[in-house]
Amino acid sequence: RLKDYFMGRVRFYTALVFARLTYLAIKLLNRSSGTSFVGMMTLKICPNFLSYCKKYIKKSAITVSGTNGKTTTSGLISHIFEFDKCRIIHNVKGANMLTGIANVFALNVLPFKKFDYAVLESDEAYLTKLYDYFESDFLVVTNLFRDQLDRYGELSTTASFIQNAIDKSQAKLILNADDPLVTNFGKGRDAVYYGFEEVEFCSDVHNSTSNAPMEVFNCICGEPLQYSKQFFAQQGHYFCKSCGYKRPELSYKGYVKVYADYSVLKVYSVSDGKSYEFKLNLVGLYNAYNALAAIACAFENGIDYHTIKDAVSSYQSIFGRAEKRVINGHDTLIQLIKNPTGASEVLKTVDLSSNIVIAINDNYADGRDISWLWDSDFEQLKNASGLVITSGTRANDMALRLKYAGIPQDRIIVEENIKSAIEIAAKSDNIEERITILPSYTALLKISKMKF
């Protein structure tokens, strides 16, 4: 056993050295962003690499999972901790499979360097594998929506991935109580629930309603759930007339006013009986949910109100999650779309006076199945007054979807080359014209590397 322990440590430190050398070579050759390849090589050298990493975390390890909002929620949590002058390890670029998580540890861990917190976004299907090696102190689950059918299957499959992880972990759960599928994870566990009591839309620019088809969810007794308030998709105040099952009591009660470019949240903490106010400079109710999850997690980790407030108000999303850029002088908003519910919520927030580029690829990371386009509420764009340009490998499929959404064909431009499509949108000399880009995941990766 002593020999196995010694050999394990040798493999671990060898992997650390090799990771640094590999990353340096990648940068010198300018061949990759290095978000997963280093991690893949690290795990080949030391398959148990992640099991050695927890000892480098002094306070808490936090994992964030769910269909939508993982990157923004984990980014907000990390930003709050950094505002509290803590040392953080965080897979900030969103590489959320085992290789991506191993990657961030391999490039940051040093033998005598410790971190206060680890904030790890985890793909739903890989969460249980992560917990085989790395014990988390908190697990935040954002929501469960129908996603890439060819990768995740139906919602019951995705839920089983997360449940399997929970069953092998002692992590304290921080759960979205407004999602009946997420609430189920808290049965018999130490769970903290957050949700919205009231939602008010305070902008004429964005639509609060959606034409996207609603999922129908049954209670555990088999009867359909009823709603007294339904905010979007299955999110809301639900109950069962048959058995009395209902949305659980909240630890953090949210009240939100959603404006065109920001939201104002009031959060009532049941534990201390106080209300706290926050301003979030991100668009949409879906981002307000992400902020509420992050705020709940921060409070649970003992961060004071003023630190959380300042961090939330200063947070700027990155990497296509309401990311703001200037392209050829034009203010540009980039919003990832990848599944029906997420896309429909993003589409509610689109500036219809902007030039719109929709870039859809069907690579493995996007999901080969693009049927989700037909369940997404692209009808929200039928009153768009600017250019509407479809791009990517499925540009023609997207153009067809827009035709059936009620956008005249003569107003739809098809340009498969993504950079060329964006250049068309940014061609005007009038810098007052804004641009909205709605890419799938691999299209977003390409756009992040483009220079204009």
Extended strands (E) in 251-398: 252-258, 263-269, 274-280, 321-327, 330-335, 355-359, 388-391
Q: For residue 246, what are its two tokens?
A: 């209902």
d(CA 395, CA 407): 15
| CA distance linking residue 228 with residue 238, whole number of Å | 6
Distance CA 142, CA 145 (A): 10
Q: Which residues pair with 351 in a beta bridge?
A: none
Strand partners, 238: 227
Query: Distance between CA 69 and CA 82 in Å, rounded?
Result: 20
HSE-up (13 A, CA, CB side) for residue 171: 31
DSSP 194-238: EEEEEEEE--SSS-S---SPPP--B-TTSSBPEEEEEEETTEEEE
Among 150, 167, 272, 369, the one annotated catalytic: 369
Contacts of 95 (CB under 8 A, 6+ apart): 35, 36, 39, 101, 103, 104
* CB 411, CB 401: distance < 8 Å: no
Q: Is the distance from CB of 267 to CB of 212 less than 8 angstroms?
A: no
- Is residue 4 among the annotated active site residues? no
Using CB atoms within 10 A of its CB, is residue 87 exposed (0-12), middle (13-18) or buried (19+)? middle
Distance CA 342, CA 69 (A): 9
Q: And the tokens for 375?
A: 């369940």
Q: Which residues are catalytic?
A: 369
